[in-house]
Structure 1
Amino acid sequence: MISIGIIGSLLSNNLGELNKVILNETSKGVEFAISLAGVMALWMGIMNIAKDSGLIEKIGEKLNPIMKKLFPSIPKGHKAMAYIVMNMALNMLGAGNGATAFGLKAMNELQTLNRKKDTATNDMVMFLVINISSVQLVPFTMLKVRMDMGSTNPSEIIITTLFATAVSTVIAILSCKLLQGRYK
């Protein structure tokens, strides 16, 4: 696509306009990345404080009946569950970029429980499915994008986003559970 744009600019004698667009959009991309890094750092800091204070374990205990149904092979008190809870919490807050680090840690911990190292376990697949569909309570990243693009009401998407992501997550979990039963 970039090559086609450059060739098109050369053929239409618009190379100056192309350069202007590239420089303008590149700086916007850098500004966006830096502002997003601030949001990410905030949520990562909050989640690390929550983890160090024991709040994540308390949340995990409250969610234990649900989490045990979703991830039946994870032993009680295993690190994987804490990382899964942190990943889900950040995803629910719309800080998916911040959730990635905890998702990777969760997968590494799940791999320690895996007997067949070259094959994903049902818990790994379930975590990946939930992580991809991820319920969004407050989609901060999207709100930031909408605000940066000049939306007059960036938060108007919250209800529809919550509904859409809740439905997608329920369908994803049900599909995963159904297929787990067929392919054990």
Structure 2
Amino acid sequence: MLNFLWLGLMLTALVTGFLNGKLPEVTTAAFQMAETAVTIAFGLIGIMAFWLGLMKIAEQSGLVKILARALRPISRILFPEIPPDHPVISSIMLNLSASWLGLSNAATPLGLKAMEELQSLNPHKDTASDAMITFLILNTAAITFIPATILGVRVSLGSTEPNAIIGTTIFAGLCATVVGILAARVLARLPVFSIRRERASDKKVTDRDNP
């Protein structure tokens, strides 16, 4: 899907430049932006290596596991349908802790494992459960207390205060998380999104037609 999106943007730029007689400017801008992208990418190497190394130390020292245990009570609120002593809770909390600390490499396998375990608890294998949707929202909203990538971009572009966006980044992620969870809770209560009610209704009709 993204490939088609980028192709559409490129074709739109080329057609617009051709119609306006500015095709040479479009070509020049494309090469300039390609050079800028390489410059930014090389500038990110140092800052990303530093933060990833720092976060790896946090992971190896057990900080991620400590944070996961501290956040365990929150799981009862976010995932009320999952037994509190189920192993999937540990996978979820470890994934979220790694994501919040910016450990995307560590968060990915933990997230896949957690989703597999959530699927094993899902009574409707062909449809995502409420817990799976909530878990996806928490990962998509992506609250990150140490946004290393954004900090690296700002440093590479010569920002005098690269850390100035940390507070607003956390606030934006928090707002996205709250809105996403509230939307999921509200939509789950609507009959049109209720699989249980729909299938229970179908079962009653089947039982009535086949006494």
Task: Flag structure 1 segments of 5+ consecutive residues without an equivalent.
Answer: none
For residues 94-132 of structure 1, the C-alpha deviation after alignment (integer angstroms, 9 at most, x for no partner) is 565764444333222322222221111111011112222
Q: Secondary structure at the match of 1:136?
A: coil
Letter in 2 for 1:29: A
CA distance in structure 2 between the aligned counterparts of 1:33 and 1:98, rounded to whole angstroms: 22
Return structure 1 stretches of 4+ with deviation > 6 angstroms: none
**Contact 1:129 1:173 (8 Å CA) reproduced:** yes
Cα distance in 1 between the residues matched to 2:182 and 2:157: 36
CA 49–135 in structure 1, closer or farther in 2 if over 3 Å, else same: closer
SS in 1 for 2:144: coil
Structure 1: distance between partners of 2:53 and 2:89: 17
Pair 41,70 (structure 1): closer, same or farther in 2 beyond 3 Å? farther
RMSD between superposed Cα atoms in Å: 3.6
Which residue identity lines up with residue 139 of structure 1 in the other structure? P
- 1:150-173 per-residue CA deviation (whole Å, 9 max, x = no partner) reads 322221122222223223323333
Correspondent of 2:130 among 122, 133, 139: 122
* CA–CA separation in structure 1 for the residues paired with 2:12 and 2:79: 47
Q: Is the 8 A contact 2:137 2:181 kept in 1?
A: yes
State whether residues 60 and 81 of structure 1, in contact with CA within 8 Å, keep that contact through their aligned partners in structure 2. no
Give 1:38 shift: 7.6
Normalised to the residue count of structure 1, the TM-score between the two structures is 0.71
Change (3 A) 1:115 1:99: same
> Aligned residue pairs: how many?
182
Give the structure 2 partner of residue 76 of structure 1: 85
Partner of 1:113: 121
Aligned amino acid, residue 76 of structure 1 = D
Relative distance call for 1:75 and 1:3 in structure 2 (3 A) is same
1:85 maps to which of 88, 93, 96: 93
- Hey, what does 1:138 align to over in structure 2? 146
**Given that residues 69 and 93 in structure 2 are in contact (C-alpha distance below 8 angstroms), is that contact kept between their aligned partners in structure 1?**
no
2:156 matched to 1:148? yes
Separation in 1 of the partners of 2:35 and 2:56?
30
Cα gap change, 1:15 to 1:74, in 2 (>3 Å): farther
Give the 3 Å change call, closer, same or farther, for CA 150–129 of structure 1 in structure 2: same
Name the counterpart of 2:177: 169
Structure 2 spans left out of the alignment, 5+ residues: 1-8, 197-211
Residues 138 and 158 in structure 1, CA contact (< 8 A), matched pair in contact too: yes
1:39 matched to which residue of 2?
48
Do the aligned partners of 1:143 and 1:155 also contact (CA within 8 Å) in 2?
Answer: yes
Instruction: Give yes or no for contact 1:83–1:102 (8 Å, CA) kept in 2.
Output: yes
Aligned residue runs from structure 1 range 86-105, under 5 A: 86-94=94-102, 99-105=107-113
